[in-house]
Every structure is written in structure tokens, then in C-alpha cells.
Chain A
Amino acid sequence: MKPSSILSSLNPATEPDSLASHERAEIDASTRGPVLLFFGSAVFWLLAGSLLGLLSAWKMTHPGLLDSMAWLTFGRIRPAHVNIVTYGWAFSAGIGTGLWLMARLCRVPLMHSRLLVSAAVFWNLGVLVGVLGILAGDSRSIEWLELPGYATPVLFIAYAFIGVWAVIMFRYRKPGHVYVSQWYLLAAFLWFPWLYATANILLVWQPVQGSAQGAVNWWFARNLLGLWFTPIGLASAYYMIPKVLGRPIHSYYLSILGFWSLAIFYSWNGMHHLIGGPFPAWMISASVVASIMMFIPVVAVAINHHMTMRGHFDALKWSPTLRFTVFGAIAYTVVSLQGIAMAIPSLNTLTHFTDYTIGHAHLGLYGFFSMMMFGAVYYIVPRLVGWEWPSATMIRWHFWLVATGILLMAGSLTFGGILQGLALYDPTVSFQSSLDYAIPFRWLRGISGFFLLAGHVVFATLFILMILKVGRRREGPALFAAPDDDTSATV
């Protein structure tokens, strides 16, 4: 590759790559089977995961709740919840979205769809077997990787199909400018198998001795969120925001800066979950530094999205896709800045080991990623089934229920966590006090779980109605309100 060709590849395309409508139709038709299969699985796991999450939350305020049976004990329900929402809901929704985005951005119809359908079946099988294994008592108790050793190879095989497919698609794409969403998707598809294989080998199959396990565990868990879910979420945002508005992304150069600084710094963050732990000082310091450096990609992405939206925020009034996506994008900025703050050792003394971390985790995986996925689903599914969402009112209910739920959850756990942390730090205060301070906030968190579950039931109902094409045929998209500008009815 000559230097001049690398340099020329740094210039943004001056002309948009066009896709004729019939090409789009062909591409969408080719993605129909796998994407709907992944989305359908995702919706199922979302409901199951929300139920278990609700149960876990109320077990903390009412420890006697359903505590007589081994398979319902908190220590098993909680990891079952985490693994279902992560590997069941988030993965399936993310892969479904990623497949559709890849096909659109490669500008070729999806190839080898049977490979992907097999992948979906294997994936769901792996998650089901794994979660039942956790409830039966085979949990590894490795956070974010509790699935027993007999389930993880199934997931890995399913993923291998997807990874191979992604590389083939990219190789056979229509030549031309590679849009930023594709960098993120390609990177995510390449990073995940390396992460998953390393973590499984060094933690599950040939466990490394001693506290090195903690390092590998949190390198994996941090990167699962930052190098798998974050890129997919950002890929969706980078596509949906300019697509719905019909405007270009503000700055190609900020996209480059954001992508590479994420790639360089994010993967070193892992040890910030273990500040003060049994690790050499330099590892912890490296993670603290890398966490602070994350300021750069987060701000770059935030500027890009904000400046693209600037002057067009009234689109949030009518577009469901945009409303969910922008909520997710704002949540991404907030949760990342919160995470950077939590990595500073003097603040970490207050937040470590408290509910604050749980609030942060939910704000990230739900407030950012799940909301992003809802936005993507609302955009993609009409194009696959040839039907419009039957009820804008239901979409509105969905949005407000889950927005209230996640804000209530994150807010209550943040405040409660700080009080808990203050009590844990003060040597004159008993351990009991840290529990007492947290009680009212744990109640609020439990209530937020009802909001979230209700929102998910509405969402699942909408999804099923779409698949079954119920209701009268709608002309034009389901929007919250009539758009002011005729040309903006593009959802």
C-alpha cells in the first residue's frame, strides 16, 4: 500500500455513496430471516431477564422472598439475570442490528444467511443451557462469565459463524468509502472472539493461578462492554442519527479520532474495577491513566453527534428511532464521564463495593446500549416485514416507562451508593449503617424494575403485532407527532 493511498483514504468521501431503492429493498429482504430471528430471541430474553432482575432487586429488600429453594437463591438468580440480559438480550439485539447495518453499508445483499440462522439457533441454545446450569448450581462465579464450561463452547461456535460471515461480507462489499459505523462493527467482530477465547481458556478451562484471574476477568468484562457493546451501539448511532435527519455526520476527523482513541485506551481500563486489590501498583495505575484518557473518545463522539443534531433537536418530538437513539447517545456520554470519575482512586474509595457500581452498570448497558437497540429495532423492523408499527401510542408508552425506569434506577443507586460508600469508609460507623442508608434507595430501585418490565411488555407486544402484521394498514411511519417539515418524515 503506497503512502499516498493511505493518505487519500483519510479524506472523507465528497460524494455520498448512493443506494437505489430497489437495491435497498433487495438488501433488506436478504437480511430478513437472520435479523428477525435474532431480534425475536432478543425480545424473549429481554422479558426473561427483566423478570429475574426484578426478583433479584426485591430479594435485597426482602431477603426472605422465595429463599427456601436452591435454584431461586439470590446468588444464582442474580448471575442468571446478568447473563440473560447480556448474552441473551444485548448480544442478540446487537448482532441483529450489526447484521443489518453491515449489509446496508457493504451495499450488497446478505450472503450465507443459513450460516447466520444456524448461529442464532446455537447462540440461543448456548444461553439457555448456560442459564439453566447457573440455576442448577454450576455457576463459575466469574463475573460476566458465569456460564458453565459446557455452554461456552456452544456460544463460541455460534459466534465463529458470525465472525466468519462478517469478514466475508466486508471482503465482498461494494468498493468505495468505508463509513465509520463499519469500522466499529468490523473491530467489534474481530475483538470479541479474542476476548472470549482468552477469558474462557485462562479462567474456565485452564484457570491461571492466583490473583491473575482477577486481572483477566476484569480485562474481559471491561472489554466486553467497551470493545463489543460500545462499538455496536456507536455504529447504530452513527447510522441512525444522520440517516433520519438526512444530514452528514459533523466531522470525519472526529470519527477517526474517536475510533482510534477508543481502540488504544479502552482495553487498558480493566483494572479500575480492582483499585486497591492484590495487583502490582503499575497495573492499577495504567488502568487509572487509561480511564482518564477515555475522555478523548467520549468527547469526540459526543461533539460529533451533538453537532450533527444541532438545529434539529425538534426531530426528537416525532421520531421514535431518534428519540431512543439520542437518549442512548446522551446516556453514553454521561455514563462514560461517570466511569472516568469512578476510576480516580480518591473517588474510588467512596464508590467501590457499593450500589453506585450497579447503577453505573445499568446506565451503561441499559441507558446507553439497550435504548440504542430499541431505536435500531424501531427503524429496522418495518423495512423487514413490510408493515408499520401499529401504534405510536404504545411506542410512546414504551419510551416513557423505560426512560423513567432507568433514570429512577440509576439515580437511586447513585445516591444510595454514595451514602453506602461514606459509611463503609468511616471507621467509626458500623457495617450495619451502610445497609441502613441503602434501604430506601434499594426500594426505589425495586420500583424502577416494575417500570422497566412494563415497558418491555409493551415492546414485546408491539414486536409480536408487527411480526403478525396485526392492525389496519398504516400509510407512512408510526410517529409520535406530525413532523413540521414534510421532507423529514423519513423514519
Chain B
Amino acid sequence: MNVAEVHGSILREQSEPRDGCEPVPLWLLTLFFCIIFWAGLYLAYNSGGFRSDVFDSSRTAWAGGGATETGPVDPKVLGRRVFTQNCVVCHQTTGLGVAGQFPPLVGSEWVLGGDWHGDNHLVKIILKGLQGPVQVKGATYNNAMPTWSQLTDEQIASVLTYIRSEWGNAAPPISAEYVKAIRDKTADRTEPWASGDLQAIPAEKAPAVETPPPAPPPAPAAPSA
């Protein structure tokens, strides 16, 4: 490289940059500390107690609640799921069953009660199964319904509540305690029921289920001390 060429652009340069000594403006430092103070407050109120399972910043650990807001599970939601997983194979999603094979649940006296049918019979069927000829809404069915005792009391109660309130059916819900009581009473029986066996047992109505009170709203966040 030609030294004269290089010197042209370099000679006219100013000296290398250097630092001046002006102090940091006081207003900037004041602002800095104000922002830090605000930052601390924001973090305190919006961090969900620094838990890894709290996703909504509006809830803090001081609200006293845990990570989850649990109200009572809506039995119809649970019931629909249980029904879909277990019952639709035979009784269909419409609850209409299959003519000549599987009885309908819609408007069925077995489900709603009526004639000699009681709620206790309904629960017993789920727990032990049903076989032999049965009459449903004037039609005869002769098939075998398996036992569903492997479901929990809550699941059985919810699915019965579901079928008793879906497709235009309107019968009161059934509680898990009632299912448990009947399960205990029939613990010894191993055979599925036949229609005649059930008819011999007097009909009972399930006790009324109190609708649980709505979950109280979470306590407002209040800093401790």
C-alpha cells in the first residue's frame, strides 16, 4: 500500500476517543431507584409466589390458596365422559340403544323410575350386571349387561346422574354415598341380576342430593406483615 495514500485518510483523523468526566445526573439516579422500588412491588404482587405451577399472575401465595382452584367437579361433565368411554358401545351416544339388542335409556322406566322400578334397582344393575329377558318400554331384550363395579362410586353416581338428565330425561341426581351404601349391601352377591330378582326387591328412591354450595371466591391478596 502506498504510504502516502494511507497517510491521507489517517493524517486528518482526530485523536482516539476518550472519556469525559461529567457526573451522572441526579434525576437519572433518582429515577433508577424509583423504578427499582416499583419493580420490587410488581414482582411481589405478580409472581404467584414464585411457584412453578401457578400460571396466572393475579394469584399470589398470600391469597392462601394452593396452585389449583378446585371447585366441586361438575358431575354431568364426569358422567358424560364415563358414559362415552363405557356405555355408548351398546346404548349409543343417543341413548337409544339398538332395536332388538340393547335397550334404550331415553324415557326408560328402568332409568327414571316408575312401575316397580326404583333407584336402588338401577344402582344394583350397574354394580352386578343384568342378564336374561327384560322388558323396556314394552319391548323385550335378552342380552347380557356386564358388571361395572370396577368404576368408582363417584363415577357410577355421575354416569347415572348423566343418563337421568340427558336426552330429555328428567330425574333427580344420584349421590356417590348412595352408590356406596348399595355396594356395601350387595357385597356378597356375585351373580348378575335377572329381571325377576330385582322385581322381588321393593323399590326405593335415592335420597335427595344437596347441590354443593358454589366455591367461595378466593380471598383478596393481602401482603403479610
Contacts and interface: CB of A to CB of B under 8 A. Distances in A.
Contact flag (A, B; Cβ within 8 A): yes
Interface of A: 12-13, 16-19, 21, 24-25, 28-29, 32, 104-105, 177, 179-181, 238-239, 242-246, 248-255, 257, 278-282, 284-286, 288-289, 292-293, 295-296, 299-300, 303, 307-308, 382-383, 386-388, 475-477, 489-490
Interface stretch (B14-22, B71-79, B128-136): B14-22
Interface string B1-13: 1110111111111
B89 interface: no
Given A13-B18, A303-B28, A383-B9, 16 more contacts: A17-B16, A25-B10, A29-B1, A177-B19, A181-B17, A242-B17, A243-B16, A244-B14, A255-B19, A280-B50, A281-B56, A282-B50, A282-B51, A282-B54, A285-B47, A292-B39
A383 B9 CA distance: 6
Interface residues on chain B, size class:
35 or more
23 contacts: A12-B19, A17-B16, A19-B15, A24-B13, A105-B16, A180-B19, A242-B18, A243-B16, A243-B17, A245-B14, A248-B20, A249-B17, A253-B21, A253-B23, A253-B24, A278-B55, A280-B48, A280-B55, A285-B43, A286-B47, A288-B42, A296-B31, A382-B9
Given A246-B14, A285-B46, A490-B14, A293 B36 contact: yes
Contacts of A308: 20
Q: Lowest 10 A-B CB distances belong to which pairs? A: A281-B48, A386-B5, A282-B47, A246-B14, A252-B19, A251-B22, A281-B57, A242-B17, A12-B19, A248-B20
Given A28-B10, A286-B47, A386-B9, A293 B19 contact: no
Interface class of chain A by DSSP: helix
B12 A490 contact: yes
Contacts of B38: 292
Contacts of B28: 257, 296, 299-300, 303
Contact of B22 (A177, A254, A289, A386): A254
B35 A292 contact: yes
Interface in B22-81: 22-25, 28, 31-32, 35-36, 38-39, 42-43, 46-57, 59
A280 B39 contact: no
Nearest to A256: B24
Nearest to A261: B32
Contacts of A255: 19
